[in-house]
A and B are shown apart, each in its own frame.
Chain A
Amino acid sequence: ETGVTQSPTHLIKTRGQQVTLRCSSQSGHNTVSWYQQALGQGPQFIFQYYREEENGRGNFPPRFSGLQFPNYSSELNVNALELDDSALYLCASSLERRVFSSGANVLTFGAGSRLTVL
């Protein structure tokens, strides 16, 4: 059983640029959630993808967008990067059996992509 893998692990961008982060979900999982984590803080929910559609979004602007592919892998795209976008971006996969879950399902996290915006 493979875990969640994210790429790249580290990257540096400048303000105004665009970035794409990638996530391969754990085998058998059908749902991917993306989180932004500032240093020493708890992860903040960006959005979730279930069956290739966005299924819930946190308080993030539209320049944060995503995709989920038929193999359940996912991408997070951020346009017009700002300094405050510097953070660890975490992907978590889970197995959801319906659109609205109880929240008791296990989230399996990747190691994250560390983005630095200069």
Chain B
Amino acid sequence: TQLLEQSPQFLSIQEGENLTVYCNSSSVFSSLQWYRQEPGEGPVLLVTVVTGGEVKKLKRLTFQFGDARKDSSLHITAAQPGDTGLYLCAGKPLSNTGNQFYFGTGTSLTVIP
């Protein structure tokens, strides 16, 4: 059972288009992180969102944490081929007293030149 569900699972778009990736859960998280993973590499942290309703921008990427801290979204404006990769949300639910850090199911993005 996946604690964090991402949608869509696969996304193929033309260069210059906009897109949004969603990360949803029924659990409340103290914070959520977004990672990007390229083939043959480990995931690399893009951003951490901590406060419900928080919006963070990283160049053309906009991250939002839901008010209830159960969901998050990643919006990319004017996608470029360099944005291609596997996007992962991750976090530790408040109800979890251990240190298990959950990752989402992943969204594989391909930006076609």
Contact = CB atoms under 8 A, between A and B. Distances in A.
Contacts of B33: 104, 107
B44 A33 contact: no
A41 interface: yes
B95 to A, nearest CB: 12
A45 B100 contact: yes
Interface string A35-62: 1000011111100101000011110000
B29 interface: yes
A interface, over-half SS? loop
Nearest to A41: B106
Interface residues of B, number: 31
A111 interface: yes
Given A40-B86, A42-B104, A103 B42 contact: no
Interface of B: 2, 4, 6, 29-31, 33, 40-45, 48, 50, 86, 88, 90-92, 97-106, 108
